Each structure stands twice: as structure tokens, then as C-alpha cells.
Amino acid sequence: MDTNIKKECFLWGVATSAFQLEGSPYADWASWDSILDLKPEVTNHFQLYKEDLNLLKELGVNSYRFSLEWSRIQPKQNYWDEKALDHYQEIIDILLANSIEPMVTIHHFTHPLWFIKKYPWHKDTSIDKFVEYTEKLTSKVRGIKYWITFNEPYVLILGGYLEGCMPPAIKDLSLALKALKNILISHAKAYDIIHSKVPNAMVSVAHNMAALAPWKQWNPFDRLLAKIAKYFYNHSLLDAFLTGKLTVKIPFKKAQEIEVPIKDKIDFFGVNYYTRIHIRFNPFRKLGVELRHRDIDGHGLTDMGWEIHPQGLERVIRYASKLKKPLIITENGIATHDNQKKIKFMKHHIDVLERCIKKGYDVRGYFYWSLIDNYEWLQGLDARFGLYRVDFDTLKRKPTSAASYYSYIIKSRNFQLKKN
Ligand code: BGC
């Protein structure tokens, strides 16, 4: 396909996900969400996509990360909705025509209802279903170089298989590990399929990474748990991409080693970074672990209670750099009604990023989460991540001062790509 995107440059973008902007009547989260009485459809991006894509031009970003909603594309097991595919292709075409590099997420937390009922991730049959979906996508969708197979597989597993706060809402450690293994096998297969169809493709997952620290430095239990959590949450996936083995150390249990065929199956690595989490030993909690946020450095907490900790971005970049692959910050953002706080958050994180690039870390892009206010999984509509404020009654999008600030950053910071 002939596109206007010519040269490789630092990717300045924003990130979104389909379900959070448009909902879907066929997704597992649709019924989940009615339990919570919160409606992602209210943003109505499915109808207003052209207006929203115009906002990207207004911002001046050169890339846009978004997801394709599997449940719209395959609402029934044996039925592909070609119109839904055409809809997403139109979005891609508009982006390319405006010199905006599309980055597509294949799986961003939601599933078709039929999939999660009959083929949840802990069943091996899930792999074939994901493979069929990826084959369909790659044979139909044109013009995509950057692919994210799975957004935050660990969050999906923790939420869906340990906490039980996300579909399929199972609380079982061994099924959780089985599901994680199947997701990673699916990634490996999707990686090969994408490369067989798109020769210059750049494929990754988007891994949620966090700065993790003990609640009390002097407490050996807090320290031990923080070490185990840090390894599992941040490093075990990196090591699995390096070795093909996933080592799982569970507090007070024997470590397990799981073979996963993902060695070297990434072309870049997507890092989603938001916060620091403190870890405390609490014998009354599951696995003895309690997670807390506290405002230690005075940067404050977000509306969701997360600690703002820009320095942690450098830490996770350092961890991820052991892969020796280009890194892209595929998500970083703040939920707040206070636009000055949003600007400071952005400035401080991008300052850290700049320092990392100057130190020689190979970071090739930054995607702010998110373009417009949208549905936040467990919080609903009040978590305001958007650069554009959405009035949920009139559906009007209004730029916040953070949007102008981001445009200014994009124009003024000239990040050079590391040459190999
Ligand atoms: C997810 C997004 C979510 C954001 C803020 C990320 O972990 O990928 O879907 O909205 O965090 O919670």
C-alpha cells in the first residue's frame, strides 16, 4: 500500500482501545459491565471516529495505537462481520492518508462472549481460535507495520484468573498459569502469522510494568515479597522472551518453570508504565500480599489513587533494555480532573524519557494514554485520562490544556533514534 509515511522517526502518539471507546454488544465485558452499570458506548467513537481521528491531526501526533474489537469482527463463532473489518480498515486508511503510523492491538482485554464461554484461555482450544482470528485479520487488514498481539497479558491473568475482577472471573492459580501459557503460545503463533503476511512487520506485546517496592524497607517479609513480585510482574516475561522459559516464583511455594515458545518472538518491546506500588506482607490476604499506593515523593496520587512516580519509568526502561530490542512506551497517562496535574505528569515522565534516550536507551516512541476520556475498566467514566474532555451528555470533545501541552512537546523535543 502506498502511504505518506516515509521515514523512520520517533513515534509520538496516543493510545486507545476499541472497547473503551465504543463498547460492543458481543463482548464478554458487555454483560460484565452491565453488572457494574457502566457504559463504554457513551463515548460513541464507533459513530464519531472521523471526528476523533481529526483530533489526532490537531494534536500533531505521528502515530496512533488502537485496537480492533474481536467481538465486533467475529460476533458469532462461525461468522465474520466484514463490515466491521471494513470499518477498521477505513480508520487505518484515514491514518495513513494523514501520515499517522497506525499501531494495532489485536487483543486488548475483551473477547467475544462465545470465546470466553467455550474456549477460555486455560483451555488449549483457545489457541486455535486466536490463531483463526489472527489469520483472518492479517489476510484482510492492510497497511499495518506495528502490531501488538496482546495488551498486558499479566493484567489479564491477574484480573481474570487470580483476583476474579475481569472475565472469565476464575480464581485459580494453576488455571491462571495454564491460561498464561496458552496466551504466550498464541502470541508466538500470531508472531509467525503476521510475519508470513507482512514482511516488514514490527510485533510485540504491551507489557504493564510497575516500580515495585517494599512497604517498609526494614521489614524482611515486605522486602521478600517485593522482590518476588518484581520478578514475576516485570521480569519473568522479559526472561521468557530471552530464554523460552517462564519461571514463576510464588510466595511460600516452590518455583515452577514453564516452557513457552516465545524466545526471540518480538521485534520491539511495548512498555505500559503508570505507577509505583508498595508491597506489604499481610497474612490475611491472598498469598500474603497487600498492595498499596502512597505519595512518598510529593508528586501526588491520581484520581484512581495511583502514586505518580516518574522516576519509575527509567527503572522499567532499564529492565526492558535487557531484551536488546527497540523499546516503545505504548502507554503512559494519568486519570485526573486537574489539567495542571496532567501537564506536570506528562512533563515529568517525558523528561525522564529524554534522560533515558540521552543515556543511550533505545526508546523509539511514546504513546500517551489516552486521546479522549473513555470507559475505564473497573472505574467507569469518571477516570479522566483524556487529552480531550468528553461531555458524556452532549458527546462534545473539548481540548484540555494538556492537549496543547502535548502538541508543544511534540514540536519542541527532537528525540533522535538510536542507530544500530
Ligand atoms: C490498560 C488500559 C487502561 C489503563 C488505565 C492500562 O493498563 O491497557 O486499558 O485504561 O491501563 O488503567
Domain boundaries, the chain: 11-412
- Spacing, Cα 388 to ligand 1 middle (Å): 17
Going by C-alpha positions, the residue among 89, 107, 112, 103 that lies closest to residue 26 is 112
CA 6 to chain centre: 26
Backbone angles phi, psi at 214, to 5 degrees: -70, 145
Residues 6+ apart with CB under 8 A from 413: 350, 354
> The C-alpha cell of 410 is what?
511534540
pLDDT at residue 2, rounded to an integer: 45
| Substitution site in 377, 381, 382 for ligand 1 pocket (most atoms within 8 Å of beta carbon) | 377
Q: Identify the bridge partners of residue 305 per DSSP, sorted by sequence position.
A: none
Can you tell me which atom of ligand 1 is nearest the CA of 109? 9
- Spacing, Cα 273 to ligand 1 middle (Å): 10
pLDDT at residue 3, rounded to an integer: 55
- What is the chain's pLDDT, residue by residue, as a tens digit (420 residues)? 445 565 689 999 999 999 999 999 999 999 887 766 777 787 999 999 999 999 999 999 999 999 999 999 999 999 999 999 999 999 999 999 999 999 999 999 999 999 999 999 999 999 999 999 999 999 999 999 999 999 999 999 999 999 999 999 999 999 999 999 999 999 999 999 999 999 999 999 999 999 999 999 999 999 999 999 999 999 999 999 999 999 998 777 789 999 999 999 999 999 999 999 999 999 998 888 999 999 999 999 999 999 999 999 999 999 999 999 999 999 999 999 999 999 999 999 999 999 999 999 999 999 999 999 999 998 889 999 999 999 998 999 999 999 999 999 999 998 988 876
Q: What is the DSSP string of 395-414?
A: --EEE-HHHHHHHHHHHH--
What is the pTM for the complete model shown? Answer: 0.97
**Tens-place pLDDT, residues 79-88:** 999 999 999 9
- Spacing, Cα 219 to ligand 1 middle (Å): 31
Residues 6+ apart with CB under 8 A from 172: 161
Amino acid at 309: H
Report the run of H or E that residue 180 belongs to, with start and end. Answer: helix 173-197
- Spacing, Cα 208 to ligand 1 middle (Å): 9
Pairing of strands 269-281, 388-390: unpaired
pLDDT at residue 116, rounded to an integer: 98
CB of 364 closer than 8 Å to CB of 416: no
- Spacing, Cα 115 to ligand 1 middle (Å): 22
Can you tell me which atom of ligand 1 is nearest the CA of 304? 12
In this structure, the residue with its CA closest to atom 9 of ligand 1 is 17
3-state secondary structure 125-169: HHHHHHHHHHHHHHHHCCCCCEEEEEECHHHHHHHHHHHCCCCCC
Amino acid at 243: T
- Asked if the bond preceding 321 is cis, omega within 30° of 0, the reply is no
Report in angstroms the alpha-carbon separations of 282 from 155, 223, 259. 22, 13, 32
Can you tell me which atom of ligand 1 is nearest the CA of 333? 5
CA 104 to chain centre: 11
In this structure, the residue with its CA closest to atom 10 of ligand 1 is 376
Three-state SS at 218: coil
- Spacing, Cα 109 to ligand 1 middle (Å): 10
- Spacing, Cα 15 to ligand 1 middle (Å): 10
Residues having CB within 6 Å of any atom of ligand 1: 17, 20, 151-152, 155, 208, 272, 331, 369, 376
- Spacing, Cα 409 to ligand 1 middle (Å): 23
Three-state SS at 65: strand
pLDDT at residue 420, rounded to an integer: 60
| Substitution site in 331, 371, 378, 379 for ligand 1 pocket (most atoms within 8 Å of beta carbon) | 331
Can you tell me which atom of ligand 1 is nearest the CA of 274? 11
| Substitution site in 67, 233, 369 for ligand 1 pocket (most atoms within 8 Å of beta carbon) | 369
- Spacing, Cα 347 to ligand 1 middle (Å): 20
pLDDT at residue 8, rounded to an integer: 84
- Spacing, Cα 207 to ligand 1 middle (Å): 11
In this structure, the residue with its CA closest to atom 3 of ligand 1 is 376
Helices (H) and strands (E) in the chain, counts: 14, 13
| Substitution site in 376, 379, 381, 384 for ligand 1 pocket (most atoms within 8 Å of beta carbon) | 376
Residues 6+ apart with CB under 8 A from 237: 153, 154, 205, 207, 246
Residues 6+ apart with CB under 8 A from 88: 68, 73, 141
d(CA 39, CA 407): 30
Q: What is the DSSP string of 88-125?
A: HHHHHHHHHHTT-EEEEEEESS--BHHHHHHS-TTSTH
CATH level 3 topology of 11-412: TIM Barrel (3.20.20)
Can you tell me which atom of ligand 1 is nearest the CA of 379? 12
Three-state SS at 351: helix
d(CA 304, CA 280): 20
In this structure, the residue with its CA closest to atom 5 of ligand 1 is 376
**Tens-place pLDDT, residues 242-281:** 999 999 987 777 899 999 999 999 999 999 999 999 999 9
